[in-house]
Structure 1
Amino acid sequence: MIHVLLVEDSPTDAELIQEVLEYTHQAKWHVSHVERLSEAIELCTLKLSQSQHKFDIVILDLRLPDSTGLDTVKGFRFKVPNIPIIVLTGTNDEQLGLQAMVEGAQDYLVKNEISTKQLLRAVRYAIERGLILNQIQQSELNTREALVKEQELNQVKSQFISMISHEFRTPMSTIRASVDLIQLYSDEITSEQNSRYLKRIENAIEQMLKLLDEILFIQRNEVGRVKFRPQPINLDVFCQEIIDVMQLSVSQEHHIVFTASGDYSQAEMDEELLSCIVTNLLSNAVKYSPKNSNIYFTLNGQNDTVVFQIQDQGIGIPESDQNHLFENFYRASNVRGIQGTGLGLAIVKRCVELHQGSIKITSAVGAGTTVVVTLPLYSES
């Protein structure tokens, strides 16, 4: 079945074309007839929006009540780009027909000279040309998309290499310098200095291991190997343990103020993923806050959900950066020399999604940042 849309305001010409198609037994035809360009566009758009069978060919008169000449082809092609067009011209408008083909029509027919053979040939060739053109356009689109993806991949690789080089260089330099001092001046340095150098080495190693863990998590996530494994957990105890460990590392430079309202002793969550969420958010709050400032960590319940809110008094995030915070390797424009990989929030977002929760960040430059993570208290699996 070949679906034809005939756009012709002359009843005589429309009847002639429909009769020619009707008496042609080489194919089955379904002809829809309208008299205006606007009606043709509306009908084609309606079929596409309702996922109906679109027209295989449009036979389009160039002189209609609401459009004439090349504007008819241009107007239809602009609104309906992927349906082949055969234009109808007057006896003295063959030049116009050729110009219409330049504008996107597949063929033209001269009224009063239409034969069955000529019409069939025009329809067949137009449909074939339309299919070939659509294939070419789709091939071009696929090529462009592949090129864009390749460029994006190259950019990500470049960012990754740059980030790795930068983030590893600092701890490696610290380790090298500390080892050199211990080796060269072992007879002169005090036990207190020796302990301080060893502590620097330990911190540098921990920094590199954390970076490797982040990269490994991103890689496992991309191949679908990060799984959600909920288990019973006492959130009060869990959060307090993380805070105690972190408070030791930040010493007295920052104070984490923790408050919880409600009973969360019977929650069901993935402890490893939850640790990634809380640790990364607290680390960010500490990292981007001035010394001797407070980090406020609150735990509140809402029905069958729990809300983790972490609020700092730090440098804040520029508004222009806030839509990109969960992208791999993205860092806000005002972080200056503060160390970071740009992976922490991307990891947090994935861990929150695996819990079927949500995360919201509100921030202003110089006014601090508040992160709100809402998670189901109980697993549905």
Structure 2
Amino acid sequence: MRDAVFAEWESQVRALIKGAQHILHPTLLNTLPIFYDNIAEALTPNYPRTEATSNNDVAAAHGGERARMTAYEPDQIIQEYQLFRDAFSRVADQQGVTLTRAEWGIVNSSIDNAVRESVRKFTEMHGAFRRKIAASLSHDMRNPLSVMVSAAYTLSIGTTESGRVPVVAKRILDNGQRLSGMIEELLDALSLNSGEKLPLSLSSFDALDLAKAVCDDMGADQAGACTVSGTSVVGYWCEKSLRRALENLVANAIKYGDGKGVQIKVSESHGRMLMAVRNTGNPINSEHYGQIFEYLWRDGSVKDQQGWGIGLPFVKSVAESHGGSVTVDSSAATGTTFMIDLPVDCRPFVESP
């Protein structure tokens, strides 16, 4: 049903949701293919996933991408999931797929929980972005304002030589214009829907080759410490930053795993490149999913562990700057997987204004 569901869903979203008509296909789908796979796993007997949002932050990543990459409002995210439910139901009917009442309960609870998590992350990101920009610009505004006040004071006390008056006045004018520009920037920041991005240098290369190179480097000291599987995916990304992001994930997986090795898997789905880094061992508490991507966060509850440092926030910045996301899926039964999810061709998302 998978491809048929997404074809039906995308058609309805573009027809019914304002602004969706111009969103590129990889951005429109973003993490939904992973969410769909999670539903399939939750419906699979004896698979250790009770519903699609169990032990992962895929739905939150969806909301985060919508905050960064679109002009959506929260109600449009809700409508997306409603249309997803409708598409799932229609395709199931068309293909004669029959689900029990309990199975439909899993599907519905998965979608309902995903709505809440996506909207929560969407609003959280907008609030955090606006506070950060407001604080930064408010701080920077003090510099031109100080120059203006000082220059105006010099003119007011009448001690300035006549030949210097135009120079002092120009200082006031220049810094007034700077301050005006900052105010406009601040007003834009309170309404725009894009976040800060890393400077990227895009080139075409194979993500599988990159994964193999990183794995060879990181696991050189121990046989079997790192293995790579998957398919060749050639696309446009920033090789330097993506390598650093992958190195961070592999280093963390080796450091915090149980010594049974790290697996990297590269795949492609609906114009998205998926790069998963998995290890086994103690799972990450679901309450920490958001915190581990924050700079300087430390998990004080874990003995002899200094936390995830600044590595994961960098990974998050790399993924988001490419127009993608990074998600975490962690449980004792399935291990811990960090998934970098990027458009195969990032040029439209990185190079556009």
**Which fold has the larger relative contact order, with Cα–Cα distance below 8 Å and residues 6 or more apart in sequence?**
2
Q: Which has the higher strand share?
A: 1
Q: TM-score, normalised by structure 2?
A: 0.41
Specify the structure having the higher radius of gyration (Cα): 1
Q: Which has the higher helix share?
A: 2
